[in-house]
Structure 1
Amino acid sequence: MLALVPTADPDEPVALETVAEPEPADGEAVVAVEAFSINRGELMRLYRPKPGWRPGRDVAGRVVRAAADGSGPQAGTRVVAFAANAGWAEQAAVPTTGLAELPDAVSAPQAAALPLAGLSALRLLRAAGAVAGRRVLLTGASGGVGHFLVELLAGAGAEVTAVTATPERGARLLELGAAAVVHDPQDAEGTFELALESVGGGSTRAALGKLGRRGRLIWFGGASREPLTLNFFDFFAGPESGTIQHFSNTDSDTSDGADLATLVSLVAAGRLHPEIGHVADWKRTAEALVSLRERRVRGKAVLTLGDVL
């Protein structure tokens, strides 16, 4: 079968090659991939790939071989999957605990945009707790996670101020329910009970400074790659008795498959809208990766295998 493999070339990060078909474990189903999306973490790994590693976590398609242990959906079932890796291929082996069935109302590209970004957003919402009536500051809001978070937070009753790099990137967030869009945390009006921070460096310090008394900052990323230095006195410019909490999207009491099913149901009901800023045939994945690296993509970049639009 064909698969995309790393090249370590910055201008052409992946190439199509013939590889062996997947050999699933007993608890894995084999999925014929119809669409996949790109995550920034995969982009970073592509430039220093480990031997034998192949990218690809967010996939959607159809089960062609059910799991040998009898778990999960049967052959022929449309699914979205959060794979361990190697999903940028014609077929992928996926643990059945990371699969959710797809209704006809959800397309393969919509579904492929869900796994990593959607799971992160849903679990961040849980970590945030009750947000109805609370003022929430969200940095890095124009990425895949940010779009989902704005809609989920607004749907739960939060007043969201989104931080984006440009006005163009913020327009869609207002449509999804953000109360305000700014381009620097320091420009946000008033104080906030909660900050969700994904940029790092100076952005984290600025977001901390916007918290009110006993405010909480949940740190879930470092997209800027800038190191962060904090000291005790930083808190005097921000919240009284503030809290910084680290977040990992893998720390969940609910399986990936169960949470994916929740996300799929929200999309099918029109309550969650995957923001897809780039769609192309998978033969053009290298171009999409460069566009993502250069921040020309708003939301998710999705690649398709065949006519699945």
Structure 2
Amino acid sequence: MKALVATGEVGEPVRFAEVAQPQPGPGEVLVKVEAFSVNRGETFQLEAPQPGWRPGKDVAGLVVQAAADGAGPAVCRRVVAHPPAGGWAEYVCVPVGSVAELPDGLDAVRAAALPLAGLTALRLLRAVGAVAGRRVLMTGASGGVGHYFTELAAAAGAELTVVTASPERGRRLVELGAAEVVHDLGEARGPYDVVLESTGGANLPVALARLARRGTLVWFGQASRTPVTLDFFDFFKGPESATLRHFHYADSDVPYGTDLATLVRLAAAGRLTPEIGRTAPWADTAATLTDLRDRRIRGKAVLTLV
């Protein structure tokens, strides 16, 4: 079968290759991929790829071989899936616990934009707990996670301030429910009950200073790729009894498939909007990855095989 493999080259991070079609193991289904989305974090992984690794964690397509034990979706069911790797290919094996069936009204392009960003946003909201009436600040809100979280948190009653460098992207976040947009973290007035920080570098100490008494800062990303220096004496002088917490979307007792089903239900009902900045044939994957890394794409980028 045809698949995209990592090259380790900056100008052309992936290329097509012929690889063996995967064979599903116990508890896995074989999916014929119709569309996949790419994530900015994957562009960083492609800079120094591990031997034998093939990229691809967000896919939508058709089940062509069901799990041997009968668990999960049957053959010919349309699904969205979150495999551990290898999804930028004609076929991919996925554990049944990482798959959700799609209704007729949700196409493969929108579905493929859901997994990583949607799972992160949904699980961030779960991690911070009830947000109704609480002041929430989110940095780095221009990407897929920011769009999904804005829509989910606003629907849950949060008073959300988002940080984005682009006025255009800020306007869209207001449409999705953000109460306020700032273009520099220093402009955020605070104090905030919850701060969600995804950029790292110099921003994390600034964000921490915006916390209210007994507030919580959740650190869930390092988009700047710059180390953080944190003076804990400043922390002690700041918000009393505040909490600093690290978050990773994979650290959950809930199977991916269960949360994917929630995202599918919300998207099908029009309560969650995949923000897709580019749809292109998968022959354009290398160029799309470069544009995504350099922030020339707003929201999600989806590549199609059909």
Using the size of structure 2 for normalisation, the TM-score is 0.98
> How much has 1:275 moved relative to structure 2?
0.8
State the match for 1:258 in structure 2: 258
State the match for 1:290 in structure 2: 290
Distance in structure 1 (CA, Å) of the matches to 2:216 and 2:49: 36
Distance in structure 2 (CA, Å) of the matches to 1:171 and 1:26: 47
Q: Alpha-carbon deviations, 1:76-123, whole Å to 9, x = none?
A: 000000001000001100000000000011110111011111111111
Distance in structure 1 (CA, Å) of the matches to 2:260 and 2:238: 37
Distance in structure 1 (CA, Å) of the matches to 2:56 and 2:45: 11
State the match for 1:227 in structure 2: 227
Alignment of 1:190-269 (within 5 A): 190-235=190-235, 238-269=238-269
Distance in structure 1 (CA, Å) of the matches to 2:69 and 2:5: 30
Deviates most, 236-245 or 115-124: 236-245
Alignment of 1:14-25 (within 5 A): 14-25=14-25
> How much has 1:140 moved relative to structure 2?
0.6
Residues 131 and 158, structure 1, Cα contact 8 Å, conserved in 2:
yes
Residues 185 and 210, structure 1, Cα contact 8 Å, conserved in 2:
no
State the match for 2:276 in structure 1: 276
Residues 209 and 237, structure 1, Cα contact 8 Å, conserved in 2:
no
> How much has 1:237 moved relative to structure 2?
6.0
Secondary structure in structure 2 of the residue aligned to 1:5: strand
Secondary structure in structure 2 of the residue aligned to 1:195: strand
Distance in structure 1 (CA, Å) of the matches to 2:38 and 2:201: 24
State the match for 2:44 in structure 1: 44
Alignment of 1:145 with 2:142, yes or no, is no
Secondary structure in structure 1 of the residue aligned to 2:254: coil
Distance in structure 2 (CA, Å) of the matches to 1:200 and 1:253: 27
* Structure 1: tracts of 5 or more residues without a match: none
> How much has 1:164 moved relative to structure 2?
0.6
Using the size of structure 1 for normalisation, the TM-score is 0.97
State the match for 1:164 in structure 2: 164
Alignment of 1:33 with 2:33, yes or no, is yes
Distance in structure 2 (CA, Å) of the matches to 1:41 and 1:230: 24
- Could you say what the CA RMSD is over the residues aligned between the two structures, in angstroms? 1.0
State the match for 1:102 in structure 2: 102
Residues 186 and 210, structure 1, Cα contact 8 Å, conserved in 2:
no
Residues 82 and 94, structure 1, Cα contact 8 Å, conserved in 2:
yes
* Structure 2: tracts of 5 or more residues without a match: none
Distance in structure 2 (CA, Å) of the matches to 1:260 and 1:113: 11
Alignment of 1:188 with 2:188, yes or no, is yes
Distance in structure 2 (CA, Å) of the matches to 1:296 and 1:171: 17
> How much has 1:8 moved relative to structure 2?
1.3
Residues 31 and 93, structure 1, Cα contact 8 Å, conserved in 2:
yes
Residues 163 and 182, structure 1, Cα contact 8 Å, conserved in 2:
yes
> How much has 1:134 moved relative to structure 2?
0.4
Secondary structure in structure 2 of the residue aligned to 1:234: helix
Q: What is the number of equivalent residue pairs in this alignment?
A: 306
